[in-house]
Amino acid sequence: MRKRPTNKEQGALGLSYGSWGTTRVEADYSRPLTADRRWAGRVVAAREEGGSHLRSFDRERTFLYGVVDGQVGDNGLLTLGLSHQQSDSTGNMWGALTFMNADGTQNAWGRNASTTQDWTRWDTTTKTAFVEYAHQIGMDWQLKLAYNYRAIDNDSKLFYAFPSGSSLVGYAWGGKDTMDAHLATATVNGRFEMLGRQHEALFGVSWAKSEYTGNGYAGSDCGASACSAIALPGFPYPGNLVPEPQWGPLALESTLNQKLQRAFGTMRFTLTDRLKAVVGVNHAQYSRDGTSYGVASDLSRSKTSPYTGLTFEFTPSVLGYVSYSDLYFPQSQADANDRYLDPSKGTNYEAGLKADWLDKRLLTSVAVFQAKQSGLATPTGTYNQNGQAVYAPEDVKSTGVELEAVGRLNNHIDLTAGYTTLKLTGPDGGDTYAWVPRHTANLALKARLPSLPALSFGTSARWQSKISNMEASGFTVRQGSYAVLNAFVAWQLQPKTTLRFNVNNITDQKYINTLRYAGYYGAPRSYQLSLNHQF
């Protein structure tokens, strides 16, 4: 979703300051470019920098975005845009904390704990360009053409630490990688009449291509060949323990070229005043070729995936639905032999009810779902001789229930609430993916005082059940269930000027953020004060 120009001159300025010296300045300005207001432009700029609760980790980001759109003739709308983002960070932690001791007991570290070294950094430049054209064909049909380009350049020098038997070892790696991606899409959508009723249709094609090249600096412990481990003392250790390597010239380590061509269509039929049907199909032709540390791979696959659904209006306020769809996901993870895994395939079933209350101010929904995926890339917890994570294809079945409520309880209180419970089983029918919480819940309330409308306040909370995963040491690390509570208060100083104060993790809850990939502690209690002005 991109910001678009408006047909009147307007803008906004924002300033904020928060914990760990985090500052942000942003500006957003839009105005018509022609006297008849048929063409308009918009510019967005932002600058953010600051520290983190993690030891040595600092970051800064600069973002620029410009977009122009306007009418072409009486029926066309043309949009063009560019963006540039520079994101630089130092003291990056690559990998995860080691939580298990050699005797199988679980350790607890300070929340600023990090395995990194002070010389590490990760700099990313992202450039995008896009052009879109929409043309109205008569009263009922529209043609849309779009092209998107994205270029990403990474320059990183990192340090990784992991358990090896009863000891802790690490290695340094540095390199540069580039990725260019192109996506072109053409769709036509509209309404048509059949058997006395109005129906909808959408047809389209798309073409996508990406080229990735990864290079490593020679002279690091991983360089462009197998890693040589560095023996480390017991954790935690200081950020100046391992000196920065003498980086040599860049050498090619991996390439990956991918293409995806799609043809798709959807028909929405009004069968009766209360019963509607959706029928669609997506045909995908996917190919890739490349090398990873000298191992070549080449893959070409195609898949035609249907999907369908029914909706039924039980009452003007209650709608029921059922749906079925195929799943097809190309994957870029590699196995122990450095060969990319085949695409994952599967099916998804869902049924639910949606109901509105309080004169349509509040919408509630309940859904049950079941998804089966075969060959899903799953981390094995091991690494190959080049320090790359090893994945294996696994068949996974997920079944769950989701509840949600969104809307306004009265003229002064807004509500968002949700709860999800699910079950994940592997090919043997046993529990799998233990790092995924089986129960999650979220709640957000925003309110205004009738006697003081300039003041608004609110709170939000998210909760998840316990999770676990096996570390490379062979022991299982566990994180119990926890909740994180946030709050804010805002004062509208003037009709277009607002002062806002946010507090995150009010109870200062200590928790491990994830156990799937890079597990480290979530941020402690933090604050942010912001001032926003619109003109």
- Residues 126-154 pLDDT 10s: 999 999 999 999 899 999 999 999 999 99
Is the domain of 97 the same as that of 57? no
Kindly state whether residue 167 falls inside one of the protein's structural domains: yes
Kindly state whether residue 396 falls inside one of the protein's structural domains: no
- Given this model, what pLDDT does residue 210 score? 96
Is the domain of 144 the same as that of 66? no
Is the domain of 17 the same as that of 162? no
**What is the pTM assigned to this prediction?**
0.88
Is the domain of 195 the same as that of 140? yes
Name the percent of the chain lying above pLDDT 90. Answer: 72
Is the domain of 234 the same as that of 164? yes
Kindly state whether residue 144 falls inside one of the protein's structural domains: yes
- Given this model, what pLDDT does residue 90 score? 96
- Given this model, what pLDDT does residue 35 score? 92
- Given this model, what pLDDT does residue 233 score? 85
Is the domain of 122 the same as that of 252? yes
- Given this model, what pLDDT does residue 227 score? 60
Kindly state whether residue 212 falls inside one of the protein's structural domains: yes
Is the domain of 19 the same as that of 167? no
Is the domain of 67 the same as that of 124? no
Q: Buried (b) or exposed (e) across 164-178, using 16+ Cβ within 10 A?
A: eeeebbbbbbbbbbe
Is the domain of 134 the same as that of 225? yes
Identify the burial level of 253 via C-beta atoms within 10 angstroms of its C-beta, where 0-12 means exposed, 13-18 middle and 19 or more buried: buried
- Given this model, what pLDDT does residue 222 score? 59
Kindly state whether residue 401 falls inside one of the protein's structural domains: no
Kindly state whether residue 233 falls inside one of the protein's structural domains: yes
For residues 306 and 312, give the distance between their C-alpha atoms in angstroms, rounded to a whole number: 21
Q: What residues pair up with 205 in beta bridges, in sequence order?
A: 186, 263
Domain limits for position 239? 91-101+117-267
Give the number of other CB atoms < 10 A from CB of residue 241: 13
Below-50 pLDDT ranges, the chain:
224
Is the domain of 145 the same as that of 257? yes
Is the domain of 48 the same as that of 14? yes
Using alpha carbons, select from 390, 387, 337 the residue that is nearest to residue 227: 387
For residue 20, the 8-state DSSP code is G
Cβ pair 310, 271 in contact under 8 A: no
Kindly state whether residue 289 falls inside one of the protein's structural domains: no
Count of domains forming the chain: 2
